[in-house]
Amino acid sequence: MSVHKEVKRVTTAVLQEMKARGEKISMLTAYDFTLAKIVDEAGMDIILVGDSASNVMAGHETTLPITLDQMIYHASSVIRAIKRSLVVVDLPFGSYQGDSKEALRSSIRIMKESEAHSVKLEGGKEVIESVNRILSAGIPVMGHLGLTPQSIYKFGTYTVRAKEEEEAQRLIEDAHLLEEAGVFALILEKVPAALAERVAKELTIPVIGIGAGGGVDGQVLVMHDMLGITQEFSPRFLRRYHNLYEEMLGAFNSYIDDVKSGDFPNEKEQY
């Protein structure tokens, strides 16, 4: 029997046990009550209230504009829907970099005001003081290395990271640093599969990939991308499980036609 099927509530300890047993971890983003409820009922191990809300919910080009208040709003909507999944909330850009006391204050706000279970932040050595301070308050932290979208203006593009030896080496060192600090899991985004597999083998904590191949301990995707609601974003790593954009467009068109023709509402659809 898999750990996944046995547990009533996914905790950081459960994830650790999954890694130890070689059981893959499923993770997906959610930003609102209604869809989070379906994701939780489906049996997702981790729900990420990602700062990708800045893109898919608010329509911004990058993840940078979303605020701490907005993240807390999304996180508390998700939390109200959850019975089983572990909920991780992204610390937004500007709420933790460069000032570890600010990082702790931001994390405490997320935990208190949304009642989420953990936070995630991007970066390695440069944010380790913040990681340590948040952990010292008993708040579980997830790391995020590789393509870190909050640094997009430093990178310049969303292409694969750590292809060169020097950057790969730095990523490996950062991964170890984060594990030693005590993060409970690590996201690797858009890095070569061989590098991600090596990191997953070297670390004892779960390593969850997005565009990082199959040699890691779990996978994460953005819900709107895997459902095919977003159309313009189609990187190689994305598997679309539906074409909801087309289906929804069809439904909206039919509704418009029915309203215009007077077909809706019919006799049974009125009082």
Q: Strand, coil or helix: what is 231?
A: coil
At closest approach, how far in Å is the CB of 47 from ligand KIV? 11
Among 91, 210, 216, 226, binds ligand KIV (CB under 6 A): 210
Q: Strand, coil or helix: what is 26?
A: strand
Residue nearest to ligand KIV (CB): 50
Radius of gyration of the chain (CA): 20
Among 23, 51, 179, 217, binds ligand KIV (CB under 6 A): 51
E strands within 39-183? Answer: 46-49, 86-90, 118-120, 141-146
Residue number with CB closer to ligand KIV (143 or 192): 143
At closest approach, how far in Å is the CB of 115 from ligand KIV? 20
At closest approach, how far in Å is the CB of 124 from ligand KIV? 15
Residue number with CB closer to ligand KIV (64 or 135): 64
Q: Is 189 assigned a catalytic role?
A: yes
Give the interface segment with ligand KIV, choosing from 46-54, 67-75, 97-105, 227-235 (CB under 6 A).
46-54
Are 140 and 184 contacting, i.e. CB atoms less than 8 angstroms apart? yes
Residue number with CB closer to ligand KIV (179 or 225): 225
**From its phi and psi, is residue 189 left (phi > 0), alpha (psi between -120 and 50) or beta?**
beta
- Pairwise CA distance, residues 257 & 251, whole Å: 10
Q: Is 119 in the site for ligand KIV (CB under 6 A)?
A: no
Give the interface segment with ligand KIV, choosing from 45-53, 132-140, 171-179, 260-268 (CB under 6 A).
45-53
Among 187, 199, 200, 226, binds ligand KIV (CB under 6 A): 187
Are 64 and 55 contacting, i.e. CB atoms less than 8 angstroms apart? no
Q: Is 222 in the site for ligand KIV (CB under 6 A)?
A: yes
| Token representation of residue 120 | 């995630």
At closest approach, how far in Å is the CB of 257 from ligand KIV? 36
Q: Is 90 in the site for ligand KIV (CB under 6 A)?
A: yes
Q: Is 50 in the site for ligand KIV (CB under 6 A)?
A: yes
- Pairwise CA distance, residues 15 & 179, whole Å: 14
E strands within the chain? Answer: 25-29, 46-49, 86-90, 118-120, 141-146, 185-189, 207-210, 218-221
Residue number with CB closer to ligand KIV (52 or 230): 52
Among 10, 19, 45, 52, binds ligand KIV (CB under 6 A): 52
Are 131 and 91 contacting, i.e. CB atoms less than 8 angstroms apart? no
Residue number with CB closer to ligand KIV (126 or 246): 126
DSSP for 67-89, written as a single string = -HHHHHHHHHHHHTT-SSSEEEE
Q: Which one from 122, 179, 189, 197 is the annotated catalytic residue?
A: 189
Are 187 and 220 contacting, i.e. CB atoms less than 8 angstroms apart? yes
The residues carrying an active-site annotation are 189
Binding residues for ligand KIV, rule: CB under 6 A, are 29, 48, 50-52, 90, 187, 189, 210, 220, 222
